[in-house]
A and B are shown apart, each in its own frame.
Chain A
């Protein structure tokens, strides 16, 4: 694990759009800070200046609306800017602007209690058919043994390797309950909803080893659903895929 990736505030950012997420977070916190300090100063000033003492009486109607109205309008404008200029564009890109599949590494991740099944399509680039009836302890993905596309597929449990500077499309699904695919250094969270396959994409711009966590309570092993994300150089990634491929003999006759 990269030792310097994590601390007491935002983790290291490894995602290409992560910088925009971080900008939003930072801007919001500055606004929050200014509002809080501003209110706070006013608040403490009142507590001191208007504390009850000898000869000091309260004023029945002391103040007009104008300063408060300006604060309120300021808040509304700030929120509108945050929403329209910061949040919506990032979300729209994350949700809508998928890279072309031919330019990306496409991977399926099937969550289960309590592991991440990372399904690579293998050399042929095609995912084998999976179905619930084929699932067993030695076939966690439920690959159809008669499907030729699936013969070279790889299931790397709890290990997500991908190359740096290349977009990755992940097709998320789950076998049993709701899990949530969360990579803090990628500023990314996506729930896996039973009965659905949800696509997300990301691209890393630094290599390293990072945490993949489950971010939705999924049972007694929720805390243990840790995946190892490894952003590799293209060479290291190719080597790793070779090793995985050689372990999959692909005859379909193994038990």
Chain B
């Protein structure tokens, strides 16, 4: 009887214990520049260093943007005088593509980069995610804002990190979490279960060498050590492309991408 009970107690402890990580948010590790410990992998000094820069062009005529019908939620509809448009394929005036996530995919093995103390910010404003595409480092905090005064529901659906689903009721202006930046993952889609048209993407990488193209369609990855790298550009509709690049110490290399719509 006693051993039976001990087994039961152990079994229940296992059930409880194997639940995974803590729900309490851990504060992100502090500092960017740390002196390397004896024998540890060298940390990288980011003030000087090489950079990789370029632009992402779009081939073909820019497709029309779908209107997002926000009549589903009167609070959202009231925030737009004209219909909001989908941000899936946004071609800039100069023929470049916005919201392309560019990052160093290979070449930084063995190097460690402590996560920044400041969180990256994702806002829910006008019932749209802002920014539509962003990057974060492993271990970096994500600060989610609810500027809308209505229920939003942050539902990231990663494949590598653990799936989360949080309600942000109207009274909740801000939420800070490190729970989906635990492992590197490109890209984590984020949806709002309450407002189905809302969509954004977060790329989680182990280093700070990532960028998202903006209105100019350009990107720059600064502070790289000299070496040979594979750079990947990802777009939610047009797919991803990789290119190899070599940079000298303190030099600049140029990499351009060109995307078109899939058939």
Residues of A within 8 A of B (CB): 112-115, 117, 136-138, 140, 155-159, 219-221, 224, 247, 249, 251, 253-255
Contact = CB atoms under 8 A, between A and B. Distances in A.
A137 B194 CA distance: 12
Q: Which of B63, B196, B237 gathers the greatest number of chain A CB atoms within 10 Å?
A: B196
B32 interface: no
A159 B69 CA distance: 11
A254 B66 contact: yes
B67 A137 contact: no
B83 interface: yes
Contacts of A157: 69, 71-72, 196-197
A113 to B, nearest CB: 5
Contacts of A224: 151, 194
B88 A138 contact: yes
Given A255-B89, A255-B237, A137 B65 contact: no
A137 B191 contact: yes
Nearest to A244: B69
Nearest to A176: B193
Given A158-B72, A219-B193, A224-B151, 12 more contacts: A115-B194, A115-B196, A136-B199, A137-B198, A155-B69, A157-B72, A221-B153, A221-B193, A249-B64, A254-B63, A255-B65, A255-B66
A10 B153 CA distance: 33
B248 interface: no
Interface residues on B, range: 20 to 34
Contacts of B151: 221, 224
A138 B72 contact: no
Contacts of B261: 255
A138 B193 contact: no
A220 B153 contact: yes
B8 interface: no
Interface string B165-208: 10100000000000000000000000101111111000000000
Contacts of A255: 63-66, 86, 88-89, 237, 261
11 contacts: A136-B88, A137-B86, A137-B196, A138-B86, A140-B197, A155-B69, A156-B69, A221-B194, A224-B151, A254-B65, A255-B86
